[in-house]
Amino acid sequence: MHKLYVAANVPEAYIVLNMLARAGIEARVLNEHAAGGMGELPFTHTYPEVWIDEDADRKLAARILADYQQRPPATGSVRCRQCNAENPGDFEICWQCGGAVSG
């Protein structure tokens, strides 16, 4: 196993995890429940971490992570093509029906 990324929060860790999964990379989130230990543990040890299972996936995982980190922050909103629900600008899948959103 190899630590790929230290996320600011659990949702961000799962965004990275899902991007890796779409590329066929086995990964896991560690420390997702460690925030409760803050105060007892150094705060830097409580951040969620994304670890990849296979060292052979390191280069591809690093490229995926670099693409994610270079994205500009999302602003505004997007509409679902299926149900027309409004979603935050960085969503690719509708929160309401799971359909594709348009930017």
> Tell me: the pLDDT tens digits for 3-51?
999 998 888 899 899 999 999 999 999 988 766 555 566 666 678 999 9
pLDDT score at 20: 96
Half-sphere exposure of 45 (CA within 13 A, CB side): 6
d(CA 71, CA 78): 16
Work out the pLDDT band at 54, boundaries 50, 70, 90: very high
Strand order in the sheet with 77-80: 86-88, 77-80, 101-102
Domain ranges of the chain: 2-70, 74-103
* pLDDT tens column, 56-85: 999 999 999 999 899 877 678 888 989 999
